[in-house]
């Protein structure tokens, strides 16, 4: 049996120790490694480390972007750069210390950050419709909004990793549409008429961003840590990029994250979320832009499910959760159909009749 070098903890420990000593010119002693069995993309290890001449141990996180990951090939720079840009701001995020895209070091692109205390809130318990006690829900919701509003106000210009990006208020939406069109071409195992219509509608309704902001890309319940009622860290920055701040709102507002509660990420009403966000972000949410990014987010979600199936079919993952994600493609396409205006679902001249196009779904 072939052993994945990224799962060989003894090998990772030895190479990581050597890397840290090279970076700091000091000896390091690494404690036990814990691999977090979550996600299908980056590999995450938690470990303790003692640096020579520094009192006490440090809790650190190592994230590796394997060549077989869901969104591979990877670069560690965007995540590291975003976390560095957030230092000294009111956005709760881990501090990133080192990064490299040189696979010769550990076997894959990686970055090393601090390990933050806390756990992901679990709302699926008995009680009210949100799953959270009301006072806790409202407090957490207010922090959730403050964090994303703060992210969208962070000054990224002149910071490492964002030079010559080329994103503007005018092209932010188009760049994302083009990227996910490429992702569909790369991952889809068959054509989907609904995505053809959705992409056509998106291209016809491109909004102009109110500003170019850091966009998290996966901002939702489950991607932050909480301790004693306080959000301690926003996690999972692998889709971070520059773009329209409405994009993060569209993703957070997806019906998949309401849990049937009618609340944004089971935390706040849409009205309360938007009112607080507008006060703290400093601009008004444009309903047309929000609608655009809701449709875009559903497209992105459907294609992500397709990527999971493709990874399994290609033999990159042997995890039965991945082909199971394929069962969610059709429901998401139906949601897209409900959100698109009727004229956007007309006959596709490249596919013949509406009936013939629907048979591809």
Determine the Cα–Cα distance for residues 249 and 273; give it in Å rounded to an integer.
10
- The 10 Å Cβ neighbour count of residue 22 is 9
Determine the Cα–Cα distance for residues 361 and 192; give it in Å rounded to an integer.
5
Residue 1 clears pLDDT 50, i.e. is over it = no
pLDDT for 4: 81
177 Cβ contact partners less than 8 Å away, ≥ 6 residues apart:
199, 202, 203, 206, 296
The mean pLDDT value of the chain amounts to 91
Residue 70 clears pLDDT 70, i.e. is over it = yes
| Mean pLDDT, residues 159-166 | 88
Determine the Cα–Cα distance for residues 129 and 260; give it in Å rounded to an integer.
7
pLDDT for 346: 62
Question: Which is it for strands 96-100 and 241-243: parallel, antiparallel or unpaired?
Answer: unpaired
Q: In degrees, to the nearest 5, what angle opens at C-alpha 119 toward C-alphas 114 and 124?
A: 155
pLDDT for 314: 83
Residue 58 clears pLDDT 70, i.e. is over it = yes
Determine the Cα–Cα distance for residues 24 and 105; give it in Å rounded to an integer.
16
Q: How confident is the model at residue 361 (pLDDT cuts 50, 70, 90)?
A: very low
Residue 163 clears pLDDT 90, i.e. is over it = no
Structure tokens at 37: 């069995």
pLDDT for 337: 96
Whether domain 134-358 has CATH 3.40.50.720: the reply is no
pLDDT digit string, tens, across residues 294-336: 999 999 999 999 999 998 888 877 777 888 888 999 999 999 9
Placement of tokens 């050597």 in the chain: 18
Determine the Cα–Cα distance for residues 361 and 348; give it in Å rounded to an integer.
14
What 3-state DSSP class applies to 138?
helix
Greater pLDDT, 90 or 361 = 90
| Mean pLDDT, residues 136-160 | 96
pLDDT for 358: 46
Q: How confident is the model at residue 129 (pLDDT cuts 50, 70, 90)?
A: low
The CB-based long-range contact list for 318-321 (8 Å cut-off, 24+ gap) reads: 319/40, 321/40
pLDDT digit string, tens, across residues 194-251: 999 999 999 999 999 999 999 999 999 999 999 999 999 999 999 999 999 999 999 9
Whether the Cβ atoms of residue 59 and residue 112 lie closer than 8 Å to each other? no
Whether domain 9-114 has CATH 3.30.200.20: the reply is yes
pLDDT for 312: 85
Enter the pTM of the model: 0.92
Domain extents in the chain: 9-114, 134-358
Residue 353 clears pLDDT 60, i.e. is over it = no
| Domains 9-114 and 134-358 equal at CATH topology level | no
Q: How confident is the model at residue 3 (pLDDT cuts 50, 70, 90)?
A: low
- Of the candidates 100, 124, 107, the one whose C-alpha atom is nearest the C-alpha of residue 4 is 107
Q: Tell me the angle at which helices 287-313 and 193-204 cross, rounded to the nearest 10 degrees.
A: 150
Widest pairwise Cα distance in the chain:
73
């Amino acid at each position: 049996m072939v052993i994945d070098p990224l799962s060989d903890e003894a090998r990772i420990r030895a190479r990581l120790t050597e890397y840290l000593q090279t970076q700091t010119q000091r000896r390091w002693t690494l404690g036990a490694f814990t691999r977090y069995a979550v996600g299908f993309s980056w590999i995450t290890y938690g470990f303790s480390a003692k640096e020579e001449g520094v009192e006490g141990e440090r809790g650190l996180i190592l994230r590796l972007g394997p060549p077989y990951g869901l969104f591979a090939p990877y670069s560690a720079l965007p995540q590291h750069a975003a976390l560095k840009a957030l230092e000294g701001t009111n956005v709760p995020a881990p501090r990133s210390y080192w990064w490299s895209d040189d696979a010769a070091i550990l076997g894959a692109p990686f970055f090393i950050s601090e390990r933050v205390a806390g756990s992901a809130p679990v709302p699926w318990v008995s009680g009210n419709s949100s799953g959270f006690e009301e006072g806790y829900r409202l407090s957490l919701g207010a922090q959730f909004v403050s964090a994303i509003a703060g992210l969208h106000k962070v000054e990224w210009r002149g910071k490492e990793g964002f030079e010559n990006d080329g994103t503007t208020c005018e092209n932010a939406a188009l760049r994302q549409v083009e990227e996910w069109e490429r992702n569909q071409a790369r991952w889809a195992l068959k054509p989907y008429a609904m995505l053809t219509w959705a992409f056509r509608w998106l291209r016809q309704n491109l909004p102009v961003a109110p500003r170019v902001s850091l966009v998290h890309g996966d901002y939702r319940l489950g991607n932050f840590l909480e301790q004693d009622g306080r959000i301690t860290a926003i996690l999972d920055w692998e889709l971070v990029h520059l773009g329209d701040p409405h994009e993060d709102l569209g993703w957070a507002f997806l019906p998949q994250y309401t849990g049937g509660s009618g609340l944004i990420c089971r935390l706040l009403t849409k009205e309360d979320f938007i009112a607080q966000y507008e006060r703290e972000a400093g601009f008004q949410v444009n309903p047309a832009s929000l609608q655009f990014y809701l449709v875009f987010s559903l497209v992105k979600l459907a294609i992500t499910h397709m990527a999971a199936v493709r990874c399994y079919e290609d033999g990159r993952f042997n995890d039965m959760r991945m082909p199971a994600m394929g069962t969610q493609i059709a429901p998401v396409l139906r949601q897209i159909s409900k959100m698109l205006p009727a004229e956007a679902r007309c006959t596709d001249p490249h596919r013949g009749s509406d009936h013939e196009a629907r048979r591809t779904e």
